[in-house]
């Protein structure tokens, strides 16, 4: 009988088979603004160092701080508000 380690049986194909999916990386707020305009958002107002965008059908506005590089969590949160998947976002970034 074959002994099974504490971590369980391992399949060599699973551990070596990884899909290299593109990752969301920090980008400048100006690049993200181009993306927002591409998907139909418009600038509503500026308050302090934040820019607020809206589009028909959104439950709340998209808020973008004017930082040198937007952190990934801000990009992901705004994609959730827009109803756009990370894959769609990355595809659109390649177009613009």
> For residue 18, what pLDDT band results from cuts at 50, 70 and 90?
low
Within 10 Å of residue 88's Cβ, how many Cβ atoms? 13
Q: List C-alpha distances in Å: 73 to 20, 70, 76.
A: 21, 8, 5
Q: pLDDT tens for residues 37-62? A: 999 999 999 999 999 999 999 999 99
- pTM to 2 decimals? 0.75
For residue 42, the Cα-to-chain-centroid distance in whole angstroms is 19
The domains found in the chain, sorted by start residue, are 24-95 (3.30.920.30)
Instruction: Spell 17-43 as b/e; 16+ CB within 10 A means b.
Output: eeeeeeeeeeeebeebbebbeebebee
| Alpha-carbon dihedral 86, 88, 93, 96, rounded to 10 degrees | -160
């Amino acid at each position: 009988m074959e002994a099974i380690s504490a971590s369980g049986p391992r399949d060599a194909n699973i551990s070596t088979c990884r899909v290299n999916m593109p990752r969301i990386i920090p980008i400048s707020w100006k690049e993200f603004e181009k993306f927002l305009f591409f998907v139909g958002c418009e600038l509503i107002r500026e308050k302090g160092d934040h820019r607020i965008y809206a589009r028909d059908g959104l439950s709340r506005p998209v808020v973008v701080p004017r930082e040198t590089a937007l952190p990934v969590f801000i990009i992901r949160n705004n994609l959730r508000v827009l109803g756009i998947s990370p894959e769609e976002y990355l595809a659109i970034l390649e177009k613009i």
